[in-house]
Amino acid sequence: MAFFLEVLFNGLLVGIMYSLVALGFALIYKASDVFNFAQGDMSLFAGLALVGFLTVMPLWLALICTIGVMTILAYGTVFIVFRPLVARPPLILFMAAIGLSFLVQGIGQSIWGTQPKGLFLGIPEITFDIKEVFLNTFDLTFGGVAGVLVVGLVLFFQKTRTGRALRAVADDHEAALSVGIPLLRAWAVTWMIAGIVATVAGVAWGSRLGVQFSLSLIAYKALPVLILGGIDSITGAILAGLVVGAGENLAEVFLGPYVGGGIQTFFPYLLALLFLWFRPYGMFGKEIIERV
Amino acid sequence: MEQTPLLKVNNIEVIYEHVILVLKGVSLDVPTGGIVSLLGANGAGKTTTLKAISNLVKAERGEVTKGTVEFEGKRIDKMYAPAVVKMGLIQIMEGRRTFEHLTVEDDLLTGAYTRGHDVKGIKESLEMVYKYFPRLVDRRNAKTGYISGGEMQMCAIGRALMAKPKLMLLDEPSMGLAPLLVQEIFEIIVQLNNEENVAMLLAEQNANMALQFAQYGYIMENGRVVLDGDADTLKDNADVREFYLGLTEIGKKSYRDVKHYKRRKRWLA
């Protein structure tokens, strides 16, 4: 039993990272109908920026600077890339996002180089156990940070004036514009939030695996999460991330031995396929309110 | 010296996607505190005219290429739509367009976005909206996607009211509503005009209703204004009576006579 719980917890802690990446996708998709292919590259970019800043300044300042860079990136993306594409079909926006992903990756690597870099935040990695369930402080720290971020975002969207405006934009762009909500600025704020989320994900994964090109591939891990959670649902992204994280870990440990292991890599996609068959809009996809 | 009108549209031309000419020189005035109606059939250019004024055409890849739009004497045709809202000109779009996943109260509050953090003023406005639309009070926590069409229209008007407008552009507020409800909505519009001194520019297909409540009217066809005048004069105009009000000199037209007598409009569209 203790072993089961340990596998479950460690899965959940990985899952919350999936949640973060998927959350970035969901936020941007909800607000601007763009399937942001560049979400993974934004994580890489943030990781590279942080490593770069860390060589010349202390951690807290480097974090602030990284978030500053991500904010500039968000505004640049919206005002330079997407402004001329207002009211264009979704496929064109999608192509623009693919282009953007290579651009972000290229810029990041040309500034900070292509070599894999270690990222040390000075968070101790101490393994301890509660009734024989082994956990480590490093994973718990990032789980906690991600949790706080998620709660903060939910409060922001539900309780603040800007959050309300962003929800309005997500429902109907033109109507939002007609009541005086500046659409481009709303999108920029959304991209900025997605950038912050990407930063946390990038830093968490980067400090575990090293900051390198493969970091941008975590975007693919988010795809099954999005299908499971519903592409435009914040709650969905968070819960589905946890389900996928826990699911793949449990499957690997308990089912893996029977089929020779390696389930982890494709289990999420299998889960996503099942969902596509039976519940294509995911667990929490936006209910389409159709008046009859 | 004539007083400058609140809104002055001067010979505007609107082109969509750089090629499609939708408005071919439209001019109109709305006086401070007045109600002006804009009549015309489907595709005459009413909606485009309103969107050109509120600057929403830009969000649909349209552009005002000629002419000017002045609000309180200032040119607004090159401005961004939210800045125009902040000046006190707001459009209520056709088809109500409430935010369906927001509650009625949240939806209303989005209308006050341009007023920033004026918490006290916004709260007063919210109470004023509930006073005019008491039906919304019961539905304040319901998502607007689940309220009735009439309530949605009330919510849309109330939301616009939250911006403290001096001029509201209403696009087909009667669309898809039962006649009694249309009457109720129009009465509230007139009441808002009287008590809150909000001028109205009203695009309508329901010419009867629009001319009953407006002081002045413009008739559009094919992207042009073809006739304008006081509401009473328009109501008596033989062409308007026939083509927009469905009346002839002898009352309702009988289809037996159609073959023998086909009236031609006395204007060129």
- Residue B157 at interface with chain A, using a CB cutoff of 8 Å: no
In this prediction, residue A87 carries a pLDDT of 78
pLDDT class of B158 with cuts at 50, 70, 90: very high
pLDDT at A163 over 90: yes
In this prediction, residue A286 carries a pLDDT of 61
- The rounded distance, in Å, linking the Cα atoms of A3 and A7 is 6
In this prediction, residue A257 carries a pLDDT of 84
pLDDT at B214 over 90: yes
Lateral strand order in the sheet of B89-92: B89-92, B167-171, B199-204, B35-39, B216-221, B224-230
Closest residue in A to B105 (Cα–Cα): A164
Q: To probe the interface with A, which of B99, B126, B155, B169 has the most A CB atoms within 10 Å? A: B99
pLDDT in tens, A242-269: 999 999 999 988 888 888 778 888 888 9
Secondary structure of residue B141 in the 3-state scheme? coil
pLDDT at B231 over 90: yes
- Residue B201 at interface with chain A, using a CB cutoff of 8 Å: no
Residues of B within 8 A of A165 (CB-CB) are 110, 113
pLDDT in tens, A2-47: 888 888 988 898 888 888 889 899 899 888 888 888 999 999 999 9
Q: What is the CATH number of domain B31-55+79-88+165-269?
A: 3.40.50.300
- The rounded distance, in Å, linking the Cα atoms of B68 and B2 is 19
- The rounded distance, in Å, linking the Cα atoms of B16 and A288 is 30
pLDDT in tens, B119-146: 999 999 999 999 999 999 999 999 999 9
Answer whether A42's CB lies under 8 Å from A104's CB.
Answer: yes
> Closest partner residue to B110 among A86, A165, A182, by Cβ?
A165
CB contact under 8 A, B97 and A175: yes
**CA distance to partner chain B, nearest, from residue A260 (Å):** 47
**CA distance to partner chain A, nearest, from residue B236 (Å):** 36
pLDDT class of A124 with cuts at 50, 70, 90: confident
Residues of B within 8 A of A289 (CB-CB) are 100-101, 143, 145-146
CB contact under 8 A, B113 and A165: yes
User: What residue type is assigned to position B21 of the chain?
Assistant: L
Count the helices and strands in chain A (H runs, E runs).
12, 2
Spatial CB neighbours of A225, under 8 Å, sequence gap ≥ 6: A18, A19, A21, A22, A237, A240, A241, A244, A268
- The rounded distance, in Å, linking the Cα atoms of B222 and B46 is 10
Domain ranges of chain B: 31-55+79-88+165-269, 95-164
In this prediction, residue B61 carries a pLDDT of 87
- Residue B101 at interface with chain A, using a CB cutoff of 8 Å: yes
Residues of A within 8 A of B107 (CB-CB) are 168
pLDDT at A189 over 80: yes
In this prediction, residue B250 carries a pLDDT of 57
In this prediction, residue B38 carries a pLDDT of 95
pLDDT in tens, A50-108: 999 999 999 999 999 999 999 999 999 999 999 888 878 888 999 999 999 999 999 99
DSSP classification of residue B244 = T
Residues in chain B: 269
In this prediction, residue B228 carries a pLDDT of 93
Range ranked top by mean pLDDT from A11-15, A252-256, B150-154, B265-269: B150-154
- Residue A117 at interface with chain B, using a CB cutoff of 8 Å: no
- Is A161 domain-assigned? no
The radius of gyration computed from the CA coordinates of chain A, to the nearest angstrom, equals 19
pLDDT in tens, B75-99: 999 999 999 999 999 999 999 999 9
CB contact under 8 A, A167 and B99: yes
- Residue B86 at interface with chain A, using a CB cutoff of 8 Å: yes
Secondary structure of residue A209 in the 3-state scheme? helix
Angle (CA) B137 B139 B143, round 5°: 140
pLDDT class of B1 with cuts at 50, 70, 90: very low
- Per the structure, the count of domains in chain A is 1
Residues of A within 8 A of B167 (CB-CB) are none
Closest residue in A to B161 (Cα–Cα): A179
Give me the total of CB pairs closer than 8 Å, taking one residue from chain A and one from chain B: 87
Q: B195 or A133: which carries more pLDDT confidence?
A: B195
In this prediction, residue A74 carries a pLDDT of 95
Q: What is the average pLDDT across A139-168?
A: 90
Secondary structure of residue A119 in the 3-state scheme? coil
pLDDT at B64 over 80: yes
Query: Which residues sit opposite A240 in a β-bridge?
Result: none
Average per-residue pLDDT for chain B: 90
Q: Which domain holds residue A70?
A: 2-151+184-278
pLDDT in tens, A209-236: 888 888 888 778 888 998 888 887 888 8
pLDDT at A182 over 80: yes
pLDDT class of B256 with cuts at 50, 70, 90: low
- The rounded distance, in Å, linking the Cα atoms of A245 and A11 is 5
Show the tokens assigned to A220: 């693919």
Spatial CB neighbours of B164, under 8 Å, sequence gap ≥ 6: B88, B115, B121, B125
- Is A223 domain-assigned? yes
